Structure 1
Amino acid sequence: MAMSTLKTPVLNSIAKRCYATKTAALSVKGPEIQTKKLPNNTLVVAAPSYPTKIGRISVTFLAGSRYEDPENAGISNLIRSNAGLSTSSSTTFAILRNLGHLGANYYVSSDRETITYTIEAHKDNLIEGLKYYIESISQQTFRPWELTDNQNRVEYNLSFTPPELRALDFAHKAAYRDTLGNSVILPKYNIKKLGSEHLLYYVKKNFTTDNAIISSIGVDLDTLARVSEDLNLPKSQDRNVAKAKYYGGDVRKAKDLNTTYLAVLGEGIKYGDSQSAAFAVLEYLLGKGSSVKWNNGQGVLEQSILKAGVSGNFAVSAINLNYSDSGVLGFVLAYSGKDSSKALNAAVQSLKSPTITDAEVARAKKQLLYSLVSTSENGSQFLQHITYQASVSGNVLPLEKLVSAVEKVSVEDVKKAASKVASSKLSLGGYGDVASTAYLDSL
């Protein structure tokens, strides 16, 4: 139904001029990004002119799960869970009390590549809070009795791990076996096995100057350089970092759940590859959910499942993950019904040969551009964005270059990206009610 305002003759004539069918190039200029390699080989990245009253600083180490050994599986997750405990200079109570009185937020995240410590506070209070923030990174002691006291909370957090994350974790295991296939989830058998000495050794080995990236929003490079000096990190030790190799396969775990969670991945590209923009557009073409709340998504994945006439409820979203030396593209599917194979087959066939038209590519590019601009306007998300870029590529591209790269993507570029995924061996991770789920080689 037409908008009622457009029924007015005068407004209708204005609309014909304003809502032109030909879309002009998106004119956008993001915050200025400054980067610098310090004499100690630590990379610092800052957006000092970002319009915010909140200062945010992240210290990131290349110490994620891919650097773990089978003996210490999950140790990066455990280090994250035990962040903020007593240091050699301050107790846990002192850290919590002083940061709390400053109105500061302090949190730690970890993934397959990195462990990141982040503090955010009003700019007037941020500098005062850095003392405790820096101590909690470079002076960790992991006292055995504190680790024991914290075990219940670690187990509690693990029990709330989203099932879709477990499915995606299994898919990575099938895809890479080791390196990027190492689980980001701490296995239960290592909660009590990994003690103070294991954590201290892992930190000493990986929390070094060459493996550190210090990034910020609303804080200048000089402040980050002083943070690096106060951290006083040791020089890097020699460590053998194996390159990720994609294999493909099938890993699943049955659980007493009413829903089947499936992740299917094909081989993608590393971050910074010349096809990065095309793969990003392909992700949105496959579908990231609905733009209208409680409605069906416009992506070709969801549309293909709907056309297959499945009887159960489902949710599906494409996923494109770019790492420092490899990448994956595929989807995560949740299905509540007796037979998930029908929905899985429809989604897999759509992943192998998606409908790529001018209209679909144009829609995907607009949604991707919105996501990029929206991220740049959220301080926390933008900090994560530039931190990840710096961590996996050693460089940060300004927003306008990212936007320009997306606008230049053609239909042929997207078809080439889709062809690369289709030609690779797929990987499946399953969790939940997977007893009747078909294996990939039977689809």
Structure 2
Amino acid sequence: MVLLIAVQPKIRFFLEMASKSKTFVTPLIRHVTTRGYAQAAPGVKREPKVSCAVLPNKTFVAALDNGSPVTRVTVAFKAGTRYEPQTELGIAHVLRSAAGLSTRNANSFIMARKLAQIGASVTASGDREFVYYTLETTQDNVDEAVEILTNMVCCQEFRPWELSDNNARLKFDIAALPPQIRAVDLLHKAAYRRGLGNSLFISPKRIGKISSESLQHYSCNLLAAPRCAVAVVGDSQERANMIAQNLNLTAGDTQTGEASKFHGGELRKEMGGDLAHVALAVPGAPAGSTQALALAVAAKALGNGPVTKWGTDNSPLAKAIGNVGPFAAAGFSVSYSDSGLFGVVLSVPKDEASAAVKAVGGLLKKPTLNDAAIKAGKNQLKLEILNEADAGTSLAECLAAQGLYTGSIKTPADLAKEVDAVSPSDVSKVLSAAAGNKVAMGAAGNLAFVPYVDEL
């Protein structure tokens, strides 16, 4: 999801933030690859039914039958960048970018043509924990579309000449990265070093160095049944079970990835320009915990820019930064299976960077939120969670992520009720616990006046 944060008419910044109810279960940035088309279809009104199960092969399966005219199917795997071998960094980026290339049963042109004919689309995306393959299709074309999705997921061949042709796409992905995303990526590297610190994007020097054999080995080990979740929105649990069983996944590898340890520190990338983009964070909470939910509320309470277009930002974050010229700042909380980050992303003119970054650092070390700010944060978080019910693709990926994180699912309405139950004392407790830790920083842009982390 992309949030537009406007503080002055002359400046706009785009910050890629956690997606809706995945604010506290899904990482901050994801790379998305889309292929296909879509078409309208009549809907059938029925009462939503939510169900989940674990198949004998340990694949998690969930379904939300809400009568939608469009069926969304997400197949997710624990194959994100944290599982990359240190000798093959960037392989997860290549894997998701290669979605839709030729398989054992059909080449890329045939699959794209079939998707176009039935008005379906397939999206490949990924974060530090998971890789998602999401299908959108009309109710009457589910069987044919799922067959194509199964080919893309389970039958890829990674032909060397196609991977070579795909290098230009990888270069474009990297060249198109906003500096705010680079700052957040550097923040993770500084905070975790390895594992969760692995970049979401391949290094330019590594493009063309990932072999077909490496991709086959990575996918065979990690795109496996015990590491898989299948979520369906707009169809029944029986349909979800059938899709999961037809994937014919192997047992794969049982590796859990390197345990995450927050180290703190900083990484900086000098890129020039007139702006400095800085991400600051302290340790957060793991996904599914009550602390993660309280931190998600706190992140909204800190501030996400003005509520109305061109309006005044009266959030605690904006007040702490003060009158330092036009800037954009937003709080965030991101959670993983065993760790998390709570912090702020800031974009500010280079000459004002010193005062602004020190103000944000001081706020993270001694956060103070009154009841009014916490109430506003709860309302903003609930709004995002409930809006997700209208975005079927995001909802399907959210259900799959919940299944892999916790082994169960909660609807957006359930999550909104849990947000309501968060008290100001809960938020104060988690903020006090987080404030006593080291601060990690990632910075990109013109860093001439950006202070070092030990100067905060």
Length-normalised TM-score, structure 1: 0.89
Letter in 1 for 2:436: S
Verify the 8 A CA contact 2:231 2:397 in the aligned structure 1: no
CA contact (8 A) 1:61 1:213 kept: yes
Letter in 2 for 1:47: L
Alpha-carbon shift at residue 412 of structure 1 (Å): 1.5
Structure 1 residues 392 and 298, CA gap change in structure 2 (3 angstroms): farther
Q: CA deviation at 1:163?
A: 1.3
Counterpart CA distance in 2 for 1:317 and 1:217 is 31
- Choose the corresponding residue for 2:308, options 292, 298, 310: 292
Query: Do the aligned residues in 1 keep the contact of 2:367 with 2:435 (CA within 8 Å)?
Result: no
Note the C-alpha offset of 1:299: 2.4
Q: State whether structure 2 residue 46 is matched by structure 1 residue 33.
A: no
C-alpha displacement of 1:177:
0.9
- CA drift at 1:284: 0.9
1:278 matched to 2:291: no
Q: Does 1:143 align with 2:159?
A: yes
Q: Residue 339 and residue 108 in structure 1: after superposition, are their counterparts in 2 closer, same or farther (change >3 A)?
A: same
The one-character-per-residue Cα deviations of 1:55-99 (angstroms, maximum 9, x if unpaired) are: 000101100000012211011011111110000010111000001
Structure-2 residue corresponding to 1:247 = 263
Match of 1:310 among 319, 324, 341: 324
Trace 1:39-438 onto structure 2 (pairs within 5 A).
Answer: 39-48=56-65, 50-239=66-255, 241-305=257-321, 307=322, 309-311=323-325, 313-438=326-451
CA distance in 1, matches of 2:83, 2:130: 9
Higher radius of gyration, 1 or 2: 1
Q: Distance in 1 between matches of 2:48 and 2:277?
A: 39
Q: What amino acid does structure 2 have at the position aligned with 1:349?
A: G
Q: Which amino acid aligns with 2:63?
A: A
Q: Measure the CA separation in 2 of the matches of 1:400 and 1:148.
A: 46
Aligned to 2:455: 442
**Quick one: distance in 1 between partners of 2:152 and 2:412?**
32
Richer in strand (by share): 2
1:14-41 per-position Cα deviation (integer Å, ceiling 9, x unaligned): xxxxxxxxxxxxxxxx954211001111
> In structure 2, what is the Cα distance between the partners aligned to 1:213 and 1:296?
43
| C-alpha distance in 1 between matches for 2:49 and 2:342 | 30
Worse overlay, 324-333 or 354-363: 354-363
* Partners of 1:229 and 1:274 in 2: CA distance: 34
Does the 8 Å contact 2:302/2:373 carry over to 1? no
Question: Aligned partners of 1:140, 1:104: CA distance in 2, in Å?
Answer: 20
Residue 283 (structure 1) shift: 0.9
Separation of aligned partners in 1, 2:55 and 2:180: 40
Question: What residue identity is the alignment partner of 2:292?
Answer: S
Counterpart contact for 1:264–1:331, Cα < 8 Å: yes
Equivalent position amino acid for 1:121 in 2: T
Question: For residue 136 of structure 1, what is the amino acid of its counterpart?
Answer: M
| Maintained 8 Å contact 1:57/1:219 | no
Aligned pairs, number: 410
Map 1:12-31 onto structure 2 (within 5 A): 31=48
Q: Quick check: 1:65–1:182 contact (8 Å CA) kept in 2?
A: yes
One-letter code of the match for 1:45? A
C-alpha contact (below 8 Å) 1:167/1:261 kept by paired residues? yes
Shift in Å, 1:432 = 1.1
* TM-score normalised over the length of structure 2: 0.87
Is 271-280 or 101-110 further displaced after alignment?
271-280
Shift in alpha-carbon separation, 1:303–1:326, aligned structure 2, 3 A: same
How much has 1:164 moved relative to structure 2? 0.9
For the residues of structure 2 that align with 1:225 and 1:333, how far apart are their CA atoms? 44
| Counterpart AA for 1:34 | S
The 1:379/1:77 distance shift into structure 2, 3 A limit, reads: same
What residue is the counterpart of 1:22 in the other structure? none
- For 2:416, the aligned partner's letter is V
* CA shift for structure 1 position 304: 1.5
Q: What SS does the aligned partner of 2:352 have?
A: coil
Q: Deviations over 1:319-344 (max 9, x none)?
A: 10011111110011111232301111
In structure 1, stretches of 5+ residues that fail to align are 1-29
Whole-angstrom CA distance in 2 between matches of 1:47 and 1:427 = 39
Report if the CA contact (8 A) 1:301-1:351 is conserved. no
Q: Percent identity?
A: 33
Q: Which runs of 5+ in 2 are unaligned?
A: 1-46
Measured after TM superposition, the shift of residue 122 of structure 1 is 1.1
Shift of residue 394, structure 1, vs aligned partner:
2.1
- How far is 1:290 from its partner? 2.1
What CA distance in whole angstroms lies between the structure 2 residues aligned with 1:199 and 1:296?
Answer: 49
Greater CA deviation, 399-408 or 90-99? 399-408
Distance in 1 (CA, whole Å) between partners of 2:157 and 2:177 is: 27
Which sits farther off after the overlay, 149-158 or 317-326?
A: 149-158
